[in-house]
Structure 1
Amino acid sequence: MYQYTNQTFHTHNFDQANLQDGELNNCTFEKCTFRGTSMEEMTSTGCQFIDCDFTGALLNASLHKGSAFTNCKFMGTNLFVSKFEQCKMMGSDFSNAYMDGITLLGGDWSYTNLRHTNLSRQDLRGIKLTEADLFGCNLEKSDIRGADLSHVQMGQCKLKGADLRDAKLDGIDLKSLDLQGVKLDVAQAVLLARSFGAKVG
């Protein structure tokens, strides 16, 4: 097991390295590469990863608390049963990432690419997803209360049984969504009715 604290790495190559079961505390990684790196069961706390490449990395069962992964690449990354608590993920790309069993507790996931991700039965309360791409995501039976979904791409999302009460839905074409079994609050129901041309009030 290794531990890095208060260290800074710039354009460092960690490709194919064995970084399993370690701890990163308050470290900064800028434009570093972790392609194909073994990072299972590692923990990051208060770290910053800026423009880093995790393509094909193994991050399964990893835990991240208050860390930032901004404009990072997670293409084909294994994130099975990983956990992100109050992390900032703005602009990161999760194309073809394996995310079954992932836990997202709050945080800022704005401008991320999460297309076709299985987020069913997730606790997504209060999470910020502004302008994220959730095209084709499975959000069935997820608790999305109070989340910021402003201008999110939600085409072909599966929403049956989801709870959207108090979520911000600005800029979303509600008419295009299959809202069968979805819980809405009164204000959202009014928005939906108006989107179909109804005069409410």
Structure 2
Amino acid sequence: MPVLELIKATVETIGSEKINFTDEDLTNRTLKAYKLKGSNFTRVKFCSATLEDTDLSEATLEWADFSDASLINCDFSNAKLFQANLSDAKVEDCNFKGAYMGKADLRGVKLMEVDLSNSKLHYADLRGADLEKTNMEGIDLRWSRYNDDTIWPHEKFDPSAAGALFYGRE
């Protein structure tokens, strides 16, 4: 049985809260309208995948790889994304409210109409990230890195005052 059918069938049978798909490879797959609240997707590869209208709230996505992925209208609220890789991803109309994204790699990510309010991005790499259309109310940026290519919600935003560190080297 293909892995996406397996995921859907398992969730329909036991619900999403106890699902464990650690180390799955979902590269180049499309997940549309999946209800995966509280699921465990540790170290899952979502490289170049498309996730649309998918609920991953409260999910464990530690070390998950979303590089070059398209995330559209997804709910990641209160999810654990420790050391997740979102480099070069396109993220649109997604909710990351209250998410823990410590040490996440967000280099080159493009965030459009994304809610990062009350999320924690400790030590996250924001070099080259486009955060222009992002709700950052209550965000914790302590020790996160940024550079001259990082685009903030508005030109008067001071990332250093929010705890982020300027990192000029590549």
Query: Is the pair's TM-score, using the shorter chain for normalization, greater than 0.5?
Result: yes
Deviation per CA, 1:57-86: give whole Å up to 9, x if none: 111121222111111101221112222121
Aligned match of 2:131 in 129, 132, 155? 129
AA of the residue aligned to 2:29: C
Distance 1:44 1:121 in 2: 22
Larger Cα-atom Rg: 1
Aligned match of 2:80 in 78, 81, 84? 78
Structure with greater contact order relative to length (CA < 8 Å, sep ≥ 6):
2
Please give the root-mean-square deviation of Cα atoms over the aligned residues, in Å.
Answer: 3.1
Aligned match of 1:59 in 51, 58, 61? 61
Q: Verify: 1:148 aligned to 2:151, yes or no.
A: yes
Q: Name the CA shift for 1:77/1:144 in 2 (closer, same or farther; >3 Å).
A: same
Moved more, 39-48 or 123-132: 123-132
The Cα of 1:152 is off from its aligned counterpart by 8.5
The Cα of 1:45 is off from its aligned counterpart by 1.4
Counting only pairs closer than 5 Å after superposition, residues 1-201 of structure 1 correspond to structure 2 as: 12=8, 14=11, 15-16=16-17, 17-140=19-142, 142-151=145-154, 158-160=161-163, 162-163=165-166
Query: The residue matched to 2:132 in structure 1 has which SS?
Result: coil
The Cα of 1:120 is off from its aligned counterpart by 4.7
Q: Which runs of 5 or more residues in structure 2 are unaligned? A: none
The Cα of 1:162 is off from its aligned counterpart by 4.0
Distance 2:155 2:26 in 1: 32
The Cα of 1:153 is off from its aligned counterpart by 10
The Cα of 1:139 is off from its aligned counterpart by 3.3
AA of the residue aligned to 2:162: L
Q: Name the CA shift for 1:20/1:48 in 2 (closer, same or farther; >3 Å).
A: same
The Cα of 1:47 is off from its aligned counterpart by 0.5
Is the 8 Å Cα contact of residues 86 and 107 (structure 1) preserved in structure 2? yes
Q: TM-score, normalised by structure 2?
A: 0.77
Is the 8 Å Cα contact of residues 37 and 58 (structure 2) preserved in structure 1? yes
Query: The residue matched to 1:109 in structure 2 has which SS?
Result: strand
Q: Which runs of 5 or more residues in structure 1 are unaligned? A: 166-201
Is the 8 Å Cα contact of residues 127 and 148 (structure 1) preserved in structure 2? yes
The Cα of 1:148 is off from its aligned counterpart by 2.6
- The number of aligned residues is 159
Distance 1:163 1:155 in 2: 11
> In structure 2, what is the equivalent of residue 183 of structure 1?
none
Q: Name the CA shift for 1:152/1:100 in 2 (closer, same or farther; >3 Å).
A: farther
Share of identical aligned residues, percent? 20
Q: TM-score, normalised by structure 1?
A: 0.66
